[in-house]
Amino acid sequence: MKKSELKEFLDAKVEYYNHPRFLESDPLQIPHRFSKKEDIEISAFLTATIAWGNRKSIINNATSMMELLDNAPSDFVKNHQEIDLERLSNFVHRTFNGDDFIYFIKGLQNIYVQHGGLEQVFNKAVKKSLQSSISNFKRVFFELPHLNRTTKHISDPEKGSAAKRINMFLRWMVRDNSTAVDFGLWQTLNPSQLSCPLDVHSGNVARKLGLLTRKQNDAKAVSELDTNLRRLDPLDPVKYDFALFGLGVFEKF
């Protein structure tokens, strides 16, 4: 398939899948339940953190997360007392447990109180892409005392990870909301800096379309896919996440 044909094909798939009707089965529906900027970004961050496995389970457990936070995640994060965290101790989503959840609330509180919020932290250490910024975010997020096991729930591109869930969260925050899917909340960052949330579905489709040759879904694969998607659209390369994911999940491409 020629480049022009590939672009035409993928652009059509983006237009189809970048649509609110798909939110009914997507974890992105969770932050769409909120209207306040900080409620949206905190609920999105926590939802993205547990976004692996069965999507129905992700949605159910992310809903439980929000209920444990009184459906006011920003207020809970900023103003909770130690006794308030006890209710979180029994939460479980696969390997993410109550201890992890409690630290994430403490880490987020530190981010908002000491560092000006999530957007400000991700806006630091930005280079051509946001991968270096993700690594910096992880260092800041875990600057409080924590269990070593909890660090595995934030991936680090500098250690070879594709960081799928963080890249997905960043897509939600940075891409414009013209189709009422992503939010476009973070004006200090640019869609051109985003990287595709690479997983088994998008990776397999990208390989079949000649956009990716590397076999592993890791940081090097993200870099290769970044390069090829930027050739199709340098200003908004990650819009093709909709096409790759939709082709893989819904069309079994």
What domain range includes position 181? Answer: 3-249
Q: According to the model, what pLDDT value does residue 85 have?
A: 98
CB neighbours (10 Å) of residue 56? Answer: 10
**Number of domains composing the chain:** 1
CA distance 21 to 93: 26
Residues with Cβ within 8 Å of 39's Cβ and at least 6 positions away in sequence, in order, are: 31, 72, 73, 74
- Gap between the Cα atoms of 32 and 14, Å rounded: 20
Q: Is 180 helix (H, G, I), strand (E, B) or coil?
A: coil
Q: What is the phi/psi pair of residue 34, to 5°? A: -115, 160
Give the pLDDT score at 27.
97
What's the rounded Cα separation, in Å, for the pair 198 and 135? 17
Alpha helices of 147-218 — where are they, by DSSP H?
164-174, 200-208
Which of 168, 189, 182, 176 has the alpha carbon at shortest distance from 120? 189
Q: pLDDT per residue over 152-174, tens digit each?
A: 999 999 999 999 999 999 999 99
Residue 37 is classified by DSSP as H
Pairwise CA distance, residues 80 & 4, whole Å: 53
Low-confidence ranges of the chain (pLDDT < 70): none
